[in-house]
């Protein structure tokens, strides 16, 4: 026998009375029943946006690759005002293609709107700067220290990868590591140096598939790693001069310096600052709006 759906009020004749009573109590007490407003949606800076040099997060920027084109094989650095083409380097996997464009869905760990790229399951061509790493992060001008950040989504727990790398002693390198020696599985790390040029590796264990914004700040006597605007690691033995010493090669954003070992991940943006150590408050500000330093109106001109 087929049972026909009934109106809710027919299922419980007391419900209208109870609802009237509850609402009456709310209004009698002066309590409003308006819904909470939705959180603001932050849109990525559109393609062609230039840096707003008056914004606090713009001070000291030496590279900013927002990956906001949405199509094509060229990626604009709004600081150097250079366009970097995807290319095969000596260590690039055979058959590699340019990174593919994606549109990440808005989610709790990606509360933003705009395009991003895929590293094609760690089989992508490299995004290599047209400038030497020493031109972007000049050791003679690093001053009080430097900072660097990347917004990405790890998609693997076993592949060893590197980003922000050069061919020698990359000061802004980040790693995505599996269980390798002293590193636990699902680890994001970086390399800073102590006075003896011994590597210092901060670690953070990620959740596969969750977007994270990793920011590192390096100064004499202190290196700090932030994830999503919150400090997760620090070391007080960092030596600034050793951390930027003997650097060689061009900066590669999505792979190692020769195009080899790369993150199996999606990427949304890369940033670097010289003579600028972002504070904890600025780390939180960066996560709240990662593209706040861009002049979003400039793209229309």
Q: Domain with 151 in it: what CATH number?
A: 2.60.120.200
26 within some domain: no
Confidence of residue 178 (pLDDT cuts 50, 70, 90): low
18 within some domain: no
19 within some domain: no
Confidence of residue 208 (pLDDT cuts 50, 70, 90): very high
The reported pTM is 0.84
Contact (CB, 8 A) for 264 and 119: yes
20 within some domain: no
- The count of domains in the chain is 1
Average pLDDT over residues 72-86: 96
CA distance 225 to 147: 10
Three-state helix/strand/coil letters over 27-57 = HHCCCCCCCCCCCCCEECCCCCCEECCCCHH
CA distance 134 to 115: 29
CA distance 293 to 1: 65
CA distance 175 to 182: 13
CA distance 164 to 232: 20
31 within some domain: no
Domain housing 106: 46-300
Average pLDDT over residues 124-153: 92
CA distance 290 to 273: 14
35's CB contacts (< 8 A; 6+ apart) are: none
pLDDT digits (tens, 9 = 90+) for 219-265: 999 999 999 999 999 999 999 999 999 888 999 999 989 998 888 99
């Amino acid at each position: 026998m087929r049972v026909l759906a009934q109106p809710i009020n027919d299922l419980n004749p007391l419900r209208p009375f109870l609802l009237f009573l509850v609402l009456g109590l709310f209004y009698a007490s002066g309590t409003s029943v308006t819904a909470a407003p939705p959180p603001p949606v932050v849109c990525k800076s559109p393609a062609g946006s230039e840096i707003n040099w008056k914004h606090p997060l713009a001070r000291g920027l030496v590279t900013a690759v927002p990956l906001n084109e949405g199509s094509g094989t060229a990626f604009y650095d709004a600081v150097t005002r250079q366009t970097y083409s995807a290319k095969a380097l000596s260590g690039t996997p055979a058959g590699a293609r340019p990174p593919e464009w994606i549109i990440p869905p808005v989610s709790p760990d990606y509360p933003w709107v705009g395009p991003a790229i895929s590293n094609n399951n760690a089989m992508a061509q490299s995004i290599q700067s047209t400038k030497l790493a020493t031109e972007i992060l000049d050791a003679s001008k690093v001053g009080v220290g430097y900072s660097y950040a990347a917004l990405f989504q790890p998609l693997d727990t076993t592949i060893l990868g590197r980003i922000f790398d050069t061919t020698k002693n990359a000061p802004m390198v980040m790693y995505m590591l599996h269980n390798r020696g002293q590193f636990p599985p699902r680890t994001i790390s970086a390399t800073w140096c102590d006075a003896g040029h011994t590597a210092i590796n901060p670690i953070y264990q990620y959740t596969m598939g969750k977007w994270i914004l990793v920011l590192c700040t390096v100064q004499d006597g202190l290196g700090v790693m932030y994830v999503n605007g919150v400090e997760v690691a620090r070391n007080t033995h960092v030596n600034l001069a050793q951390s930027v010493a003997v650097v060689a090669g061009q900066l590669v954003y999505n792979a190692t310096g020769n195009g080899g070992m790369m993150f199996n991940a999606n990427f949304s943006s890369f940033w670097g600052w010289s003579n600028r150590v972002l504070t904890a408050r600025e780390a939180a500000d960066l996560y709240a709006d990662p593209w706040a330093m861009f002049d979003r109106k400039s793209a229309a001109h």
